[in-house]
Structure 1
């Protein structure tokens, strides 16, 4: 009887915690083949905005190796509407290693690290629709080693 009661309580807590995470629209990463990001490869993500009155936080999710040859990563993003019109595009710099110490930033174990880099806070969308977010690296190498996956996270800002 006690085991059943404990199981019911744990299930109720799990359901409550799951229902509180409804503010995430996308939390997805794409693996790079053999840990190399080719210059002509786009990381592409689709998500739907249903409420234009809300503000959203948008972050990149980068998994990288400690032998990545640079301290930073330049990327260019393209935000497109559902018919492919580019609504916004910009080059951005992501810092992966501390410039002074050379220590990897983010969380990791061994030679792999994950870094979430917030790129937009309180971003608003004009229309209710499906959006496409595409990202490519803008480094000097055609084949960029050490980037294992690249992702996008879009969440409702609860402030």
Structure 2
């Protein structure tokens, strides 16, 4: 009887973990020291290919100390030889224009905004890098940057 309970418990835990992973095939976050993104800091995510086709999602975790309503980020896609084959500047809105209400999910003074990265290339990449383009030496209020890849 005791073995049956243990086996049932392990089966339930296994089912919960497989359901929680959902359609994600890759997910990683990088926390920023002192909740500040320095101008010279490049945030890099490396992954093993091939990843299944699907959207690539950027997560920006920010707080009320962030001084702007949006965030300009340049992403760089690199191949396995570390050559850049795609680079694009993207604009991520973090607060509503009129009300100043934070966009994204969160509570208290911390929020996370998810946005799909408009990748143009279908070439397999092994690294994606992000650079902040807000023209401040130290951009306060950014807590972490995450990258998620989900199945179509």
Task: Calculate the TM-score normalised by the size of structure 2.
Answer: 0.86
Are the equivalent residues in 1 in contact too, given 2:86–2:121 (CA < 8 A)? no
| Aligned twin of 2:140 | 145
Q: Distance in 1 between matches of 2:121 and 2:25?
A: 14
Are the equivalent residues in 2 in contact too, given 1:79–1:134 (CA < 8 A)? yes
Are the equivalent residues in 2 in contact too, given 1:61–1:117 (CA < 8 A)? yes
Q: Distance in 2 between matches of 1:34 and 1:47?
A: 26
Counterpart check, 1:154 vs 2:149: yes
Deviation at 1:125, TM superposition (A): 3.8
| Aligned twin of 2:82 | 84
Residue 101 of structure 2: SS of its match in structure 1?
coil
Residue 98 of structure 1: SS of its match in structure 2?
coil
Gaps of 5+ in 2: none
1:66 paired residue among 61, 64, 67: 64
Residue 82 of structure 2: SS of its match in structure 1?
coil
Counterpart check, 1:126 vs 2:123: yes
Residue 56 of structure 1: SS of its match in structure 2?
coil
Residue 15 of structure 1: SS of its match in structure 2?
helix
Deviation at 1:146, TM superposition (A): 0.5
Are the equivalent residues in 2 in contact too, given 1:62–1:150 (CA < 8 A)? yes
1:96 paired residue among 94, 105, 111: 94
Aligned CA-pair RMSD? 2.4
Gaps of 5+ in 1: none
| Aligned twin of 2:54 | 56
| Aligned twin of 2:10 | 11
Q: Distance in 1 between matches of 2:150 and 2:6?
A: 31
Residue 89 of structure 1: SS of its match in structure 2?
strand
Deviation at 1:10, TM superposition (A): 4.3
Residue 48 of structure 2: SS of its match in structure 1?
strand
Alpha-carbon distance change, 10 to 105 in structure 1, aligned in 2, over 3 angstroms: farther
Q: Distance in 1 between matches of 2:38 and 2:80?
A: 26
Q: Distance in 2 between matches of 1:115 and 1:150?
A: 10
Deviation at 1:5, TM superposition (A): 5.1
Are the equivalent residues in 1 in contact too, given 2:38–2:137 (CA < 8 A)? yes
